[in-house]
Structure 1
Amino acid sequence: MKKDSDMEMRALLAVVASLLILLAFNTWYAKRYAPSTSPKSRPQASSPARKEARPETPLPLKERRSSPSPSLLRVEVLPVETELFSAQMTEAGGRFLSFRLKNYREDKGPKAPLVELVSAPKQGLPIEVYPAGHPELAVRPVKGEPRALRLTDAERGKILFRPQGTSPLSLERVFSFSAKSYLFHLEVKVTNPGEKPVQDRLLFRIVGAPFSRSTRYVFKGPAYMDGKKLEEIKLKKPGSFREYAGPVSWVAYEDAYFILALLPEDRKGPWRLTFRRLERDTDEVILWSPEFTLSPGASKTFRLAAYFGPKRMEDLKAVGRGLPKALHFGFFDPVAKPLLWCLKFFHRYVGNYGLAIILLTFLVRIIFWPLNHLSYKSMKKMQEIQPIIQRLREKYQDDPQRLQQELMQVYRTYKINPFSGCLPMLIQIPVFFALYKVLLQAIELRHAPFWAWIDDLSAPDRLPVGFDIPYLHGLPVLTILMGISMYVQQKLSPTSLDPTQARLMLIMPVFFTVLFVNFPSGLVLYWLTNNLLSIVQQVMINKLHAR
């Protein structure tokens, strides 16, 4: 192998490096978020505020983690209807039996079921509220008034659940809803009906499992914000337990697109959080109130808000309290959020996210046009001096150091930067990865159609052909077009006289086509459009150079 390489080999290495980064990135995310089945999984890192431990007080009754008992099936169900969701609340503890989002469906198509946020009913219904010393009160029958709640326009309404019978502590729950918000409020009044003082904590429990089908590369599980930073709790195997004590802005269970979040009114607390993996992809989140003491006949009221809905930035910002940080794109967040903003901006005018991606590609190309132009000119000059470089290689093939010195002298003489051809691709790598993350996590692009067979930009493109294609289940037409465009782009680009390098560059379109076959169609559309614009720019440069 030759000791030195010309501009095309450097560009090839840049492409390969970017692909290796992409593959490493995917592997890292898969290992980071996929549940572990090994009993020797790495222990969780400990910190002063969060440690491996067992809860000091009992958790809810085991029967609420299995099929409902007959007594629970006989209680009344109260419907709650707003413009955004349709819910059902049970008088067995004033919990949600169902919480369906009217604007989101589990799959493509108008007949697909609505997204259900009560995703693990056998493990527990949200929001379970009970004293730590009396977990049975989480399912104690209560009386709800009114018997149904239907809100439209700007209406607001409440459902009051009054305790029935006698118990060591009396819990009165009030849920307040708004017709046009996923945010609702919960007020719990704890009363001591006994003759002795009672010391206890109030627990708010939710259980979550993924609400929708999403890639394994996106985090799914408990998360909280302590007022400054976001923490994602990665529980691996059933029984894994984590704990935190301190200020809490919000605590939640989330997946790629949806979130169940609790927001205590008093952020400082001191609050305590416990997280437990109950089974594969099912986690328990408990918010523990500060400890309180009630004398006989005394009462204390706890207030918190809850957000059950999509991780849509406009809705999260309307809530505030740091909840917008629930929508984040990891390392590429500083690039991904401006890209998402641009996509939504273009969508307002064209009404199609596929067209918005095309316009975004135009914008990126315009921004990098001067740099790309400089790169293409440099590659053209490199092509012109290939005979000189070839003679130097033959002359100094046994003296690599002298060869390098002579090559650098040639570059200086002809005013060529040997690295300029790599810069456009290297600079666009963050844009590529950021758009990849946006397509995986932005709910606006979930099930977003483009044209013809491309009915979901967040999924791979597949054209049904009437028969099964092994491993593909359809023809990836857009991906094939992308590979063809890359081949045309390579044929138009300046090439060296080295046949080995030329053959390597011709392999790249095939490699990219195979790599992209299971990528989101929106990402393939971006790359295809980028290739077409590169072809146009290269043709323009070739014509200018020919004059």
Structure 2
Amino acid sequence: MDNKRFILALALSFAVFVGWQMLFPQPTPQSNNAANTEQASSEKASGNPLMSDAQKAVDAPSAQDFVPTAGKSVVVDTPLFTASFNTSGGIMERFVLKKYKEGIKPGSPQVDLVGGKSVPKGPMGIIIGRKGAETHTWLHGEWAYDGPETITIGEDGKAVLILRGRAAGFDIERRLTFHADSYLITEDLTLLNLEKTGTEASVAFTAAAKSMSAEDDNYNPTRVAWLSDDGRNEEDNREDLQTEGVSASGGLQWAAIESNYFIMSILPGSPEASLYASVQDGIFRMAVDQSETFMPGVNKTLTASYFVGPCDRGILDTMPNDLGQAVNFGFFDPLAKPMLIALVFLYKYVGNYGVAIIILTILIKILFWPLSQKSYKSMNKMKQLQPMVQKLREKYGDDKQRLNQETMALYKTYKVNPASGCLPMLVQIPVFFGLYKALLGAIELRHAPFIEYLPGTDMIWLADLSAKDPFYITPLIMGATMFLQQKMTPATGDPTQQKIMLLMPVVFTFLFLQFPAGLVVYWLMNNVLSIGQQWFTMRKTRNTTNEA
């Protein structure tokens, strides 16, 4: 295996790696047409808690000692977020993150993870399935609330929002607990069976959210993810979510609507819970339900939690139900997360994530310096043999088998191992892909500036390392450095192969035009360091040869 072929294989592997993720997202092991049955009224209500309540509603029992009140908005204000809930069922009308903005321009609004179009889908609503019918309690129920319209939680404080209602033959009490220092909302849902006989019923905790990223954003797709006995799974194909949806059961730990940067999740209190999720009218929906037996006149309390906030690994790792696995970088996760830890560590000292990326790239280069040196020395040895290899091609060009035999004999005579230049580089591939995945999905880089303005102008440039370079300067320079690397690398292989190699900088430049700037900065810096190391090795070899 010569070095040119290896580099070609590596380049093509990278192109396939990126292209495959864009065109063929990882399939989920389970899918269920019932997850989108809002258009399929023939399904039984107990089969899917996301079915339209207008299709399968039951009338609430007449009020006796329960006195309903008109629905109104209650605002819960904490140091981390401001959330609004409608007292008619407790659905979440908005959830605004105080520490995150939609864009980098002055006056950009804070991130609202709900969005107005999601409200009719009942985020954080309760659905009860009973006697072959299904009740969306926020639509077909009576509710009462006698607390304040604004609940303000100071530092280290907590508060409880209590809503009482009646629907589907149950008295309902929802107790939502908020903490000043957490994005986690815990719920105690108490149901009282008003009928004279026991009954089986399914109870679903729901979530609904607008897309958390652009629909065509292949590097940051909004998706449905979950953790169960089958491990962590996700689905980001919107067409599949619209037409088939997904379902999961068996040790369900959590289910989430998430992007690279934000998450809305449900953590059930029962291991017997099941997930149904879909995309309806452009809104991501999911319901986590469980079946229970309710005896007459006996209260039964079910529990669940909701985490609505940033995909901050440090925060998620402290959450119950192993929610830390919501942030996952796939096959390279074991490498990506340590690199992000190192990146955050460096940032604490330099105060700029662009500079931190450069320092991390230098450290990685130093770590692999001996391996790279071995590879470059092997390349130089191969280069010295190229005139002889060319003569063999001219002599045995029509006999490929003989050409290979003579070439290998030549390498053996001069004690050159063609693979010795490839193997050191092979070790570095997992590290590269791990850092690639890390920089692609780290919330730390969202709106993190490097060089905020184009030097000498007032034009915003690398003000957001999670977004592409608006002027394409860094990807073009990266392509130029890659081309220079190709010219410096010994020309091995046949002429056709050499021409293909010269096209690779063009292909990579095209790919990197849309990449997040943080990733381009890493690759550009890595190219510059590689050019410097290659030049140093070539110069040292030339001086040694001249002295000899």
State if a TM-score over 0.5 links the two structures. Answer: yes
Counterpart in the other structure of 1:209: 210
**Which residue is equivalent to 2:384?**
384
Distance 1:542 1:428 in 2: 21
Structure-2 separation of matches of 1:257 and 1:55: 36
Deviations 1:118-148 (A, max 9, x none): 1442542321014223615334333152432
Q: 2:242 is matched with which residue?
A: 238
**Shift in CA distance, 187/154, structure 1 to aligned 2, threshold 3 Å:** same
Scaled by the length of structure 1, the TM-score of the pair is 0.83
8 Å Cα contact 2:70-2:88 kept in structure 1: no
Q: Distance in 1 between matches of 2:149 and 2:186?
A: 18
The residue aligned with 1:163 is 165
Q: CA deviation at 1:255?
A: 2.3
Counterpart secondary structure, 1:222: strand
- CA distance in structure 2 between the aligned counterparts of 1:121 and 1:447, rounded to whole angstroms: 25
Alignment of 1:3-22 (within 5 A): 7=2, 10-11=3-4, 13-22=5-14
Decide whether the 8 Å contact of 2:69 with 2:144 is kept in 1: no
Q: Say whether 1:433 aligns with 2:425.
A: no
Residues 176-229 of structure 1 show CA distances to partners (whole Å, capped at 9, x for unaligned) of 111010012111111134444443222212223322337224453332222561
Separation of aligned partners in 2, 1:539 and 1:28: 35
C-alpha displacement of 1:534: 1.3
In structure 1, what is the Cα distance between the partners aligned to 2:69 and 2:234?
Answer: 35
Q: Distance in 1 between matches of 2:274 and 2:312?
A: 28
Q: Which amino acid aligns with 2:182?
A: S
Percentage identity across aligned positions? 36
What's the counterpart of residue 223 of structure 1? Answer: 225
- Aligned AA (1:204): F
The RMSD of aligned alpha carbons is 3.2
* Aligned residue in 2 for 1:469: none
SS in 2 for 1:349: helix
Q: Which residue matches 1:25?
A: 17
CA distance in 2, matches of 1:380, 1:424: 15
1:460 maps to amino acid: K
Aligned to 1:68: none
Q: 1:185 to 1:122 in 2, by over 3 A?
A: closer
Residue from 276, 291, 294 that aligns with 2:278 = 276
Query: Quick one: structure 1 residues 331 and 144, their matched pair in 2 at CA, closer, same or farther if it must change by over 3 Å?
Result: farther
CA 62–427 in structure 1, closer or farther in 2 if over 3 Å, else same? farther
Residues 144 and 176 from structure 1, CA distance in 2 versus in 1: closer, same or farther, beyond 3 angstroms?
farther
Counterpart residue type for residue 391 of structure 1: K
Report whether the alignment pairs 1:530 with 2:522.
no
Counterpart secondary structure, 2:126: strand
Contact 1:183 1:308 in 2 (8 A): yes
Deviation at 1:103, TM superposition (A): 1.1
Residue 102 (structure 2) aligns with: 106
Q: Deviations over 1:513-547 (max 9, x none)?
A: 23322222222211211111112212221232233
Q: Choose from 84, 92, 96 the match for 2:92.
A: 96
- Aligned match of 2:125 in 123, 128, 134? 128
How do 1:187-206 residues align onto structure 2 when only pairs under 5 Å count?
Answer: 187-206=188-207
Q: Against the structure 1 CA distance between its residues 73 and 499, is the aligned structure 2 distance closer, same or farther, given a 3 Å change threshold? A: farther
Judge conservation of contact 2:225–2:258 (CA < 8 Å) in 1. Answer: yes
Q: Which runs of 5+ in 2 are unaligned?
A: 38-42, 58-67, 454-460, 544-548
SS state at 2:303 partner? strand
Q: After superposition, give the CA deviation of every residue in 1:272-301 in whole Å (9 maximum; x if it has no partner).
A: 332233234x33211222322221x32111
Whole-angstrom distance in 2 between the partners of 1:307 and 1:201: 22
Once residues 223 and 454 of structure 1 are traced to their aligned partners in structure 2, the CA distance between those partners, rounded to angstroms, is 31
Matched letter for residue 371 of structure 1: L
String of CA shifts for 1:141-186, please: whole Å, max 9, x gaps: 331524321112211111111337x872111111111101001211
Give the unaligned 5+ runs of structure 1.
1-5, 35-41, 66-71, 463-474
Give distance in 2, aligned partners of 1:161 and 1:51. 28
- 2:265 matched residue in structure 1: 261
Amino acid at match of 1:456: D
Q: How far apart, CA to CA, are the structure 2 residues paired with 1:221 and 1:512?
A: 27
The equivalent residue for 1:442 is: 442
Summarize the Cα distance change of 1:455–1:167 in structure 2 as closer, same or farther, 3 Å threshold. Answer: same
Paired position in structure 1 for 2:64: none
- In 2, the alpha carbon distance for the partners of 1:492 and 1:27 equals 28
Match of 2:416 in 1: 416
Paired residues of 1:486 and 1:509 also in contact (CA < 8 A): yes
Query: What does residue 303 of structure 1 align with?
Result: 303
Of 248, 255, 258, 1:251 maps to 255
Of stretches 490-499 and 384-393 in structure 1, the one that deviates more from structure 2 is: 490-499
Question: 3-state SS of the aligned residue for 1:145?
Answer: coil
SS at match of 1:115: strand
| Whole-angstrom CA distance in 1 between matches of 2:490 and 2:25 | 43
Q: Tell me the distance in 1 between the aligned counterparts of 2:187 and 2:493.
A: 73
State the alpha-carbon separation in 2 of the partners of residues 202 and 487 from structure 1: 61
Q: Distance in 1 between matches of 2:147 and 2:35?
A: 42
Contact 1:33 1:219 in 2 (8 A): no
Mapped to 2, the partners of 1:319 and 1:63 lie a distance apart of 37
In structure 2, the CA distance between the partners of 1:218 and 1:17, relative to structure 1 (3 Å rule), is: farther
Question: CA shift at 1:504, angstroms?
Answer: 5.4
Task: Give the match for residue 65 of structure 2.
Answer: none
* Contact kept in structure 2, 1:241 and 1:277, CA below 8 Å: yes
Q: CA deviation at 1:498?
A: 7.9
Contact 2:30 2:247 in 1 (8 A): no
Match of 2:467 in 1: 459
- Structure 2 distance, partners of 1:479, 1:30, is 19
